[in-house]
Structure 1
């Protein structure tokens, strides 16, 4: 058994009309090969540039350890200067990652290095976020709680991305009261004997190089592996339909708070219970007797 993955289409010179018609409205992923080539970031964004411009800023770093016991969520493993983090990345593989780092708040000068592409999309311009990872680091399969449409632009390295549309959720071992798959599953090398439903999910695979961008539609699942040290910026477009806005509010106001409350009350027992539910529900959906 192996994962059922298709390549994501690649485009160059796409018009906003074609993007809206072929990808945004039908909510299909696409890789932009040339959207960033006129950005200053295309020439400038490497680790030495960030060492110069943001090296003294203290940044929170996250590792691959899941939240345990009564922790609300997995907090930072450490907080160090950006320059010290770059030193770590340049020494070799590391699972330390910078996650959802607000560029506008922390490095406003760098906002001049990129542009919001003219794709007929209303961007949420208060939240351009930076993601940085060491070689071999991975991001667990998840979708975004705010259901944003994401435009993810990669620089200074290579990364692998797996995507699954919302209608494949039933095969992905979604953990109840969360927006993640089971954290024990490594989607880069999944154990399909233990988690056989994954082989029935129909997904997509992309590899992003310097300057390439990926459109991740709202509520699409994504797993990311940093194949080399790299940094990326994500520009976000928030949902506007009443149905999705209602779902976002439910995620933020009910689901997250209920999950945190149960973690405090039951600790690891709650986490173990959710994982068992994830396996049971997924196998029932897939018709697997196991």
Structure 2
């Protein structure tokens, strides 16, 4: 048995009007193959380039181990120079990743290597973020807490991406008080005996290569596996509707703080409870015993 996935469509030379009508307004994912064709980054951005221009910058890196007990859920595994991390990534498979690394704050000279696309939407220009991963590293199935519309530009390497729309949440074993699916589930090789609801979910997949730009609509779930060492940039367009802004505030201020408090008070018991509830609620909603 396999996940029910179809290929994410690819387009070239799409106009602003076509993008808005066919993808942004209906909130459908698409790969825009030529969106970065005239960026310096398209030609320059690889690991050797970043080692030269940002090698001395100290960066946080994260591993694939789920937080346990009273550990913070987003604590880095270590901090090291970017050049040292690049050496690790190039040496062979590793689960160490950089994510959500703000280029504007940490490497402002790299901003000149790209520009914000003319797509008829407003970008949040204070948060261009870099994602880097080694071969075999994976990103747990999740959606972004700020409910941004994301434009994910891949440069060095290849990565596999699986997407699910918000309406598929009921099949994905969402962990209560969080924005993630159960971390124990490997979406690259799911166990349908333990997690049968996944077989009912209908999603999308693609392998992103050099120059591909993936539009990930707001609140869409995404899982990523780095097939080779990979370096990517995400530009974000934040939600503007009052309903979504309220949802963001609720997640950031109430749910996250409550979850952090319960982690401190109950430790691993809280994590185990949430995972158990994710299974119970998912199966109950679908009539699965």
TM-score range, shorter chain: over 0.9
Structure 1 residue 96 corresponds to structure 2 residue 78: no
Give the Å deviation of 1:114. Answer: 0.6
* Mapping for residues 197-236 of structure 1, pairs under 5 Å: 197-236=197-236
Give the Å deviation of 1:229. Answer: 0.3
Query: Which string of whole-angstrom CA distances, capped at 9 and with x for unpartnered residues, describes residues 125-172 of structure 1?
Result: 000000000000000000000000000000110000000000000000
How far apart, CA to CA, are the structure 2 residues paired with 1:276 and 1:201? 20
How far apart, CA to CA, are the structure 1 residues paired with 2:110 and 2:157? 19
Aligned with 2:65: secondary structure? coil
TM superposition score normalised by structure 2: 0.99
How far apart, CA to CA, are the structure 1 residues paired with 2:206 and 2:254? 34
Give the Å deviation of 1:273. Answer: 0.3
The answer as to whether partners of 1:60 and 1:77 remain within 8 angstroms in 2 is yes
Give the Å deviation of 1:206. Answer: 1.1
Which residue matches 2:110?
110
Give the Å deviation of 1:285. Answer: 1.6
Structure 2: tracts of 5 or more residues without a match? none
How far apart, CA to CA, are the structure 1 residues paired with 2:276 and 2:160? 29
How far apart, CA to CA, are the structure 1 residues paired with 2:231 and 2:287? 40
Structure 1 residue 83 corresponds to structure 2 residue 83: yes
Structure 1: tracts of 5 or more residues without a match? none
How far apart, CA to CA, are the structure 2 residues paired with 1:262 and 1:21? 43
* Number of residue pairs the alignment of both structures matches: 289
Which residue matches 1:123?
123
Which residue matches 2:247?
247
TM superposition score normalised by structure 1: 0.99
How far apart, CA to CA, are the structure 1 residues paired with 2:235 and 2:143? 15
Aligned with 1:174: secondary structure? coil
The answer as to whether partners of 1:16 and 1:119 remain within 8 angstroms in 2 is yes
Query: Which string of whole-angstrom CA distances, capped at 9 and with x for unpartnered residues, describes residues 153-210 of structure 1?
Result: 0011000000000000000000000000000001001111110100100000011000
The answer as to whether partners of 1:151 and 1:216 remain within 8 angstroms in 2 is yes
The answer as to whether partners of 1:65 and 1:74 remain within 8 angstroms in 2 is no
Aligned with 1:135: secondary structure? coil
The answer as to whether partners of 1:9 and 1:30 remain within 8 angstroms in 2 is yes
Query: Which string of whole-angstrom CA distances, capped at 9 and with x for unpartnered residues, describes residues 221-272 of structure 1?
Result: 0000110001000000000000000000000110000000111110000000
Which residue matches 2:193?
193
Which residue matches 2:271?
271
How far apart, CA to CA, are the structure 1 residues paired with 2:70 and 2:174? 20
